[in-house]
Amino acid sequence: MEDRDYLQFIHKVRDYTSIDLSQYKEAQMKRRLTTLRTKKGYSTFAAFFEAMTKDKELFYEFLDRMTINVSEFWRNPNRWEVLERRFLPEMLQRSKRLKCWSAACSTGEEPYTLAMILAEHGALASSTLIASDIDEGALEKAKRAVYSDRSIRDVPALYLNKYYRQDNLTYSIVDSLKPHIRFQKQNLLTDPFESGFDLIVCRNVMIYFTEEAKHLLYGKFAQALKPGGILFVGSTEQIFSPGQYGLEPADTFFYRKQEA
């Protein structure tokens, strides 16, 4: 009975939003949504869904709960160092006009990290940088680009001095970086991808997806990369048998699309 209620909720949410909750690990997702539903005083998912369709605030709370937006600048700093010291110079030797994508960028910490690194290497203005997420609220925050001190703790001093403005307890990204990032709403599981990327950064979202959804996504990412292009994943997200997607390990949490 309880399971049917949740399964029907999944179907209704899919029709209403095109978000397919069945592609996320069920136990985790169900636990998070049950906590919210109970907190809001609904005894069934059917009643919760009805309320959500009438109350925008509740709908946004649901979105917030299902999308976990936690992020940080330079998350896992030694991996960004590998990107900056090893892969970026390699890419820039081939071309100054890079096409990069921060997929599931949340509130913007990741694409701004990438923008700063590209800027330091003189490649931001000539490159294309796309940043996407399913959550419009997160994208709005990303565009505002105002952060607390918690998210800047791993930012190297050089970057902190050059690309942030501190106002009391907040840190804002300098305006010069913003026009170089194209923020857009996108559902990785259902929307089509652009192609020809030199670099795709997709970190800390794959962990929420089922094995089937991950498999689909790795295939789509591999298709979207140029031969020789790099996929940078999160620090708990190594790909098993990357060869099946035409990818090869290039460093820990980095994969390279095989040359044809």
Ligand X SMILES: C[S@@+](CC[C@H](N)C(=O)[O-])C[C@H]1O[C@@H](n2cnc3c(N)ncnc32)[C@H](O)[C@@H]1O
Nearer to ligand X, 42 or 215 (CB): 215
Q: Residue 200 corresponds to which amino acid?
A: I
Q: How far apart are CB 4 and ligand X at their closest, in Å?
A: 24
Nearer to ligand X, 12 or 220 (CB): 220
Nearest residue to 74 (alpha-carbon basis) of 8, 148, 160: 160
Tokens coding 190: 């259902």
Q: How far apart are CB 44 and ligand X at their closest, in Å?
A: 25
Nearer to ligand X, 135 or 198 (CB): 135
Q: How far apart are CB 208 and ligand X at their closest, in Å?
A: 6
Contact, 226 vs 198, CB < 8 A? yes
Strands 128-133 and 181-185: what pairing? parallel
Give CA–CA dist 206/48, Å, rounded: 27
Q: How far apart are CB 84 and ligand X at their closest, in Å?
A: 17
Half-sphere exposure in the Cβ direction for 153 (13 Å, CA): 6
Query: Given the rule CB under 6 A, which residues bind ligand X?
Result: 67-71, 75, 104-106, 109-110, 133-135, 138, 186-189, 203-205, 234
Nearer to ligand X, 19 or 250 (CB): 19
Give CA–CA dist 156/42, Å, rounded: 46
Q: Using the 8-state DSSP alphabet, how is residue 165 labeled? A: E
Tokens coding 145: 């680009």
Give CA–CA dist 233/76, Å, rounded: 11
Q: How far apart are CB 111 and ligand X at their closest, in Å?
A: 9
Q: How far apart are CB 200 and ligand X at their closest, in Å?
A: 11
Nearer to ligand X, 75 or 99 (CB): 75
Nearer to ligand X, 75 or 257 (CB): 75
DSSP 195-220: --EEEEEE-SSGGGB-HHHHHHHHHH
